[in-house]
Amino acid sequence: MNHLDNTQSKTIGFIGLGIMGRPMSLNLVKNGFKLVVYDTNPGPVSELAAAGAKAAQSVAQVARESDIIITMLPNSPHVESVLLGDDGVVQNGKKGTLIIDMSSIAPMSSQKCEAEARKNGMRMIDAPVSGGEPKAIDGTLSIMCGGEQADFDEAYPILKCMGASAVLTGKIGSGNTTKLCNQIIVGVNIAAMGEAMALAVKAGVDPQKVFEAIRGGLAGSAVLNAKMPMVLDRNFKPGFRIDLHIKDLNNALETAQSVGSPTILSEKVLDMMKDLSADGEGQNDHGGVARYYEKLAGIRITPFRE
């Protein structure tokens, strides 16, 4: 039996079936894994059950029936509640259970949860993702992991069914530190895109043409290619919400403060996102940061008519 076959013989619990968790869990079902799933929203639970997963009635049930447990939740308090609460994974799961937390949370929270899991004979890695809903759907997420090598090796066949890459970056918490670095770079890139394209429009140059001209050069990036067409099409349907990016940047600032690292650009971008959220745009895609510049400049970043 190879390592994949060995992993597929185990039951995976999946807790958190939101924008990201739902397609991620569906990809595991499609790849032949046996899943027990739970979410406070019954809709995606029913969808997963129809696809072949078992619907659980509680976190505790998932913990009792699973050998490996994946969590995909909004923020640190949610993860700590699900893992460490009285009805949670640590109190109700089996000894030897491997917890794979794929939420984007504070590294210190990952370390706290792992320490408690270890006291109860369980193991844990943190494995946050990047790529948003489109890459969650097609199984090409970038997965950043922290934990022990043996635990990562056990999780790897599972992770590769959800992502194009899975990299162990260090001990527990390192995955979330890596994700915070990712979110700083993504946020600053989107803000720079908005600033540049607002300049183009104000100067009378078609932003569609600017995009076409620069995308193949040094300014080109995955961020530019993903977000600029959405802005041009006025499509701000969330692949990743502004409010979630605010959460990540707050975690980045908290982590940076704890180690004495400067966050000059992150603070500026966070202020932009907070302004947009206050204007009711927090549930829109983070590519909508470009709208911050549109409002300041009094323009719209749209293709020019011929």
Find all residues with CB under 8 Å of 159, minimum gap 6, and list them.
Answer: 100, 127, 143, 145, 166
Amino acid in position 122: M
Active site residue 179: yes
- Considering the candidates 179, 209, 227, 247, report the single residue annotated as catalytic: 179
**How far apart are alpha carbons 63 and 7 in whole angstroms?**
17
Asked if residues 194 and 301 have their Cβ atoms less than 8 Å apart, the reply is yes
Find all residues with CB under 8 Å of 92, minimum gap 6, and list them.
Answer: 59, 60, 63, 64
φ, ψ at 130 (rounded to 5°): -135, 145
Handedness of CA 250, 255, 259, 263 (dihedral sign): negative
**How far apart are alpha carbons 284 and 241 in whole angstroms?**
5
Asked if residues 95 and 121 have their Cβ atoms less than 8 Å apart, the reply is yes
Residues found in the chain = 306
Amino acid in position 177: T
**How far apart are alpha carbons 194 and 188 in whole angstroms?**
10
Q: What is the largest CA-CA distance in the chain?
A: 67
Q: What 3-state DSSP class applies to 14?
A: strand
Place of tokens 């966050």: 263
Q: Which two tokens stand for residue 32?
A: 């032949």
Helices (H) and strands (E) in the chain — how many of each?
15, 9
Residues marked active site are found at: 179
